[in-house]
């Protein structure tokens, strides 16, 4: 096919065109850089275990984490030293294959509005919705009607430094849609927190921020506000792309380096066996990328100009498939496993959330959020975290019901190597 011909022709140029990385990304040298400064990734602590495919993760102001469970449609609150607690159950979630309850993002103004954003699939579409933590009201859908599929839903959402909400949306097994600006599939979207389109988007009146994507599952900004996204290729190259407004990243015409002025080339490529890159996070000048099939955490140095250095692998094979990586407010690095997603043999304690201490605190913690409502109770001040477990468990959960969990403050040819990662047409997730 055309994209494979282009990819093969470009492969010889990867070493010089992709910031000097190319095969170094797939086969790190013995003299690779040491573990990134500030983190001890040799023995991360387990902060939660026995989870069911944790997918999205973001932090509340007090440093606790909210985590989605893809196949159950639930949101957990996770704190080191305490068992995870279910704090929300999103209605209408329909899981299957790669679909289900996917990304999660906490509002940057959570202290004032207590809003949490989720991306998920229903029986008919993919949606982004928001709900108020501590409220019994159902989620408000702010993006709906996006085509869903058993694979390639994307689903990562994150707030950028500009306060806008970004969403990686997969091609939903319809590759041509990635080049169709009238479709939201195969895109990175940029919207206001209420779901409306910002006036300064690259295509007037459209939520599309960039296009030509196959399946984006990682979004991260460096300290200079540059957006990087991880993307699953088909059979040849997986990618990290530096995203610019209106950029065309080539799918389905090409995967990997195109050397074609119509398309923007990736800044990092990997062979799929060592990547299948999902979540991404920046810390201390390093882009961390969680790898599913690669079963490792990639550490990619990025300098002040945005140029990337040789990736270094961490946690190789130690914990199986890795889905999400996130930097906590205290500077620590959190990583989730994905060994119960049907593509691995889980250990008894899977799935897990790992924490590597270190780094610097990034934002203040533990600010009060005012009053919350519980079903069957009058409105009252939120219970401090230390006293949370004294509250009775409510029985009628709609969206979120626990005030104590609010956070006070046989495959032919070239697809055979991917059968372990996706049963649908050899596509990987």
pLDDT, tens digit, for every residue of 13-49?
A: 333 334 334 333 433 333 444 455 578 898 999 999 9
> How distant, in Å, are the alpha carbons of 26, 84, 92, 98, 107 from that of 277?
12, 26, 28, 14, 25
SS (HEC) of 307-349:
CECCCEEECCCCCCCEEEEEECCCCCEEEEECCCCCCCCCCCC
pLDDT at 208: 99
Tokens representing 140?
């408000």
Provide the Cα torsion 253, 257, 259, 265; round to 10°: 90
| Residue 428 domain-assigned (yes or no) | no
What tens digit of pLDDT does each residue of 402-420 get? 333 333 232 222 222 233 3
- Contact between 292 and 271 (Cβ < 8 Å): no
Cα–Cα distance, 180 to 334 (Å, whole number): 36
pLDDT at 39: 85
> How distant, in Å, are the alpha carbons of 77, 303, 312, 318, 368 from that of 286?
27, 8, 10, 21, 32
* Cis, bond preceding 20 (omega within 30 deg of 0): no
**DSSP per position, 95-153:** -BTTBSEEEEEE-TTHHHH-EEEEEEE-SS-EEEEEEETT--SPPEEEEEEE---SS--
Burial 26-37 (b: 16+ CB within 10 A, else e): bebeeeeeebbe
pLDDT at 365: 38
- Give the 3-state secondary structure of residue 176: helix
- Contact between 76 and 62 (Cβ < 8 Å): no
Domain holding 207, by residue range, is 2-418
Q: How confident is the model at residue 358 (pLDDT cuts 50, 70, 90)?
A: confident
What tens digit of pLDDT does each residue of 167-181 get? 999 999 999 999 999
State residue 342 phi and psi, 5-degree precision.
90, 5
State residue 231 phi and psi, 5-degree precision.
-145, 135
**CATH code, 286:** 2.120.10.30
- The better pLDDT of the pair 239, 385 is held by 239
Cα–Cα distance, 406 to 385 (Å, whole number): 9
| Residue 429 domain-assigned (yes or no) | no
pLDDT at 361: 63
- Contact between 211 and 228 (Cβ < 8 Å): no
Cα–Cα distance, 385 to 408 (Å, whole number): 6
Cα–Cα distance, 303 to 307 (Å, whole number): 6
| Residue 238 domain-assigned (yes or no) | yes
- Contact between 363 and 102 (Cβ < 8 Å): no
Cα–Cα distance, 196 to 169 (Å, whole number): 17
Query: For the range 170-174, what are the long-range contacts, defined as Cβ-Cβ under 8 Å and sequence gap of 24 or more?
Result: 170/213, 170/214, 170/215, 170/216, 171/213, 171/214, 171/215, 171/251, 171/252, 172/126, 172/146, 172/147, 172/148, 173/149, 173/424, 173/425, 173/427, 174/147, 174/149
State residue 350 phi and psi, 5-degree precision.
-70, 155
Residues in the chain: 429
Mean pLDDT score, 248-252: 98
Mean pLDDT score, 176-202: 99
CA-nearest of 372, 373, 375 to 397 is 375
Q: How many domains does the chain have?
A: 1
- The better pLDDT of the pair 237, 359 is held by 237
| Residue 424 domain-assigned (yes or no) | no
pLDDT at 36: 56
What residue has token string 């897990």? 352
| Residue 426 domain-assigned (yes or no) | no
In the sheet where 238-243 sits, what is the strand order?
Answer: 216-221, 227-231, 238-243, 268-270
Residue 276 has pLDDT above 90, yes or no: yes
């Amino acid at each position: 096919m055309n994209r494979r011909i282009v990819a093969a022709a470009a492969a010889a140029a990867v070493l010089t065109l992709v910031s000097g990385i190319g095969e170094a990304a797939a086969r790190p040298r013995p003299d690779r850089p040491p573990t990134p400064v500030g983190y001890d990734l040799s023995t991360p602590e387990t902060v939660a275990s026995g989870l069911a495919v944790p997918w999205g993760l973001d932090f509340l102001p007090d440093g606790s984490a909210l985590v989605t469970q893809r196949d159950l449609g639930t949101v957990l609150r996770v704190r080191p030293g305490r068992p995870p607690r279910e704090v929300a159950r999103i209605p209408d979630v329909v899981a299957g294959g790669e679909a289900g309850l996917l990304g999660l993002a906490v509002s940057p103004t959570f202290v004032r509005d207590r809003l949490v954003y989720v991306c998920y699939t229903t029986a008919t579409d993919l949606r982004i919705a928001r709900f108020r933590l501590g409220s019994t009201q159902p989620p408000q859908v702010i993006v709906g009607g996006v085509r869903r599929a058993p694979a390639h839903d994307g689903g990562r959402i994150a707030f950028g430094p500009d306060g806008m909400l970004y969403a990686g949306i997969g091609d939903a097994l319809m590759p041509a849609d990635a080049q169709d600006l009238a479709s939201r599939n195969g895109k990175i979207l940029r919207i206001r927190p209420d779901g409306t389109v910002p006036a300064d988007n690259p295509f007037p009146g459209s939520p599309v921020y960039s296009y030509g994507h196959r399946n984006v599952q990682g979004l991260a900004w460096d300290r200079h506000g540059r957006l990087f996204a991880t993307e699953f290729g088909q059979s040849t190259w997986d990618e990290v792309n530096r995203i610019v407004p209106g950029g065309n990243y080539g799918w389905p015409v090409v995967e990997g380096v195109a050397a074609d002025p119509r398309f923007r080339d990736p800044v990092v490529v990997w062979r799929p066996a060592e990547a299948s890159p999902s979540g991404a996070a920046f810390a201390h000048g390093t882009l961390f990328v969680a790898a599913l099939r690669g079963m490792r955490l990639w550490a990619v140095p990025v300098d002040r100009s945005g140029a990337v250095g040789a990736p270094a692998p961490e946690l190789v094979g130690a914990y199986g498939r890795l889905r999400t990586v996130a930097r906590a407010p205290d500077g620590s690095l959190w990583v989730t496993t994905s060994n119960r997603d049907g593509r691995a043999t889980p250990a008894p304690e899977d799935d897990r959330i790992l924490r590597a201490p270190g780094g610097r605190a990034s934002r203040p913690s533990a600010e009060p959020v005012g009053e919350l409502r519980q079903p069957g109770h009058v409105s009252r001040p939120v219970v401090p975290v230390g006293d949370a477990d004294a509250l009775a468990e409510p029985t009628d959960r709609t969206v979120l019901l626990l005030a104590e969990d609010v956070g006070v403050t046989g495959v032919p040819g070239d697809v055979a190597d991917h059968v372990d990662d996706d049963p649908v047409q050899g596509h990987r997730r």
